[in-house]
């Protein structure tokens, strides 16, 4: 009866368990990738491998699973920050990367949706498409929140040049490399599972 009324929503216990396990694994790998980081002296945002993992999640997961996983990870980080400070204001002033975390949700959904469409045969076109999504959906919220974070915690207003230097420029080439790596890994995995 439920399948007739809600054919998309009706899921079996097996698929629900599989969904839950995949989401937990995604959160685990996002957490692990955040631990591999290089702090930069001129920005509160470190270099890490999260872009690689978020891109792989977007390329391999359904839109619902990608969003669930990235929301779960964001809530985990927010919960950790809140438990350490016991104050929402203090938590927000210590979490300079919240904009990037919110961008992960948008980005993973967008990449997953794009992946459902006809995949581009040309690797350059595919990388360019994902890189544009990355710039708009991760860097933009990341930069906007970093601007807000600086005014809130440091009582300083950043110029556009300083903001770009702190939130985009140091990460751009590394993130493009991570996007290419994620695409190549996913294509290789898909070929190996289909052969």
- Tens of pLDDT, residue by residue over 97-133, are 999 999 999 999 999 999 888 777 788 888 999 999 9
Summarize the confidence of residues 10-25 as an average pLDDT.
81
Coil, strand or helix at 48: strand
Can you give the residue ranges of every domain in the chain?
48-187
pLDDT of residue 9: 47
Task: Give the pLDDT band (50/70/90) at residue 65.
Answer: very high
Task: Give how far the C-alpha of residue 9 lies from the chain's centroid of Cα atoms, to the nearest Å.
Answer: 25
Task: Give how far the C-alpha of residue 25 lies from the chain's centroid of Cα atoms, to the nearest Å.
Answer: 14
Which is more confident, 52 or 81?
A: 52
Q: How far is CA 125 from CA 73, 129, 130, 133, 187, in A?
A: 29, 6, 9, 12, 15
pLDDT of residue 195: 65
Contact indicator for 93, 153 with CB cutoff of 8 Å: yes
pLDDT of residue 166: 95
Contact indicator for 29, 75 with CB cutoff of 8 Å: no
Contact indicator for 158, 35 with CB cutoff of 8 Å: no
Task: Give the pLDDT band (50/70/90) at residue 187.
Answer: confident
Per-residue model confidence as pLDDT tens digits over 49-62: 999 999 999 999 99
Summarize the confidence of residues 81-97 as an average pLDDT.
78
Contact indicator for 78, 109 with CB cutoff of 8 Å: no
CA-wise closest residue to 37 among 29, 26, 49, 27? 49
CA dihedral for 47, 50, 163, 155, sign (positive or negative): negative
């Amino acid at each position: 009866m439920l399948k007739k009324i809600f054919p998309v929503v009706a899921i079996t216990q097996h698929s629900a368990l599989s969904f839950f396990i995949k989401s937990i694994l995604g959160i685990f790998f996002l957490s692990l990738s955040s631990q591999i980081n290089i702090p930069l002296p001129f920005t509160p945002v470190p270099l890490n491998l999260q872009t690689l993992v978020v891109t792989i999640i977007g390329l391999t997961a359904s839109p619902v699973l990608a969003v669930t996983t990235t929301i779960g990870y964001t809530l985990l980080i927010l919960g950790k920050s809140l438990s350490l400070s016991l104050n929402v204001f203090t938590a927000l002033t210590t979490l300079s990367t919240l904009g990037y975390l919110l961008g992960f949700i948008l980005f993973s959904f967008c990449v997953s949706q794009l992946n459902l469409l006809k995949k581009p045969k040309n690797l350059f076109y595919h990388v360019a498409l994902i890189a544009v999504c990355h710039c708009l959906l991760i860097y933009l919220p990341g930069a906007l929140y970093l601007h807000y974070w600086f005014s809130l915690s440091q009582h300083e207003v950043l110029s556009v040049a300083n903001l770009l230097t702190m939130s985009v420029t140091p990460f751009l080439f590394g993130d493009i490399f991570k996007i290419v790596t994620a695409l190549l890994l996913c294509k290789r995995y898909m070929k190996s599972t289909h052969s």
